[in-house]
Amino acid sequence: MKIALIAHDRKKDDLIQFVIAYLPILTENSLYATGTTGQRIIDETGLSVHKFRSGPLGGDQQIGSMIAQDEMDMVIFFRDPLTAQPHEPDVTALIRLCDVYNIPLATNMGTAEVLLKGLKEGFVDWRLIRERRG
Ligand SMILES: O=C(CO)COP(=O)(O)O
């Protein structure tokens, strides 16, 4: 599965802790991230991550483009609901595309845990079945 990992600055520590906690599941999947988030994951966990541009420089849109091409299976996006982002329209667009294409999306750690546990149990396998048919 292809999983996008994204965190706003004040949520990056939380995401790193989350990634460490779920390392066994995440290692079995292909990971993608916006630039700064991806670099921190690589530096602090040793995981292999495909990095896009930083969020404010178009990274959210690059991940959105993968979703629009049916090439992303899950998005974990630790948003900061208390800080205004200069690229808020990009953030909204990414979330919108997840809804357009029914891509499982977590915007906080509580939901992210449920998604990864669900992924392990096979609840997202419909994405693979759909790929084989495609
Ligand atoms: O701003 C972001 C998502 O909207 C995250 O971007 P970075 O990972 O480059 O900080």
Establish whether 83 is an annotated binding residue.
no
pTM given for the model: 0.96
What digits encode the pLDDT tens for the residues 48-61? 999 999 999 999 99
- ipTM score above 0.90: yes
Domains contained in the chain, CATH given: 2-133 (3.40.50.1380)
Instruction: Calculate the CA dihedral of residues 104, 39, 16, 4 and round it to 10 degrees.
Output: 0
Q: Which two tokens stand for residue 84?
A: 């205004």
Q: What is the pLDDT of residues 87-115, one digit of tens each?
A: 999 999 999 999 999 999 999 999 999 99
Quote the ligand 1 centre to 12 CA distance (angstroms): 9
Residue 51 assigned to a binding site: no
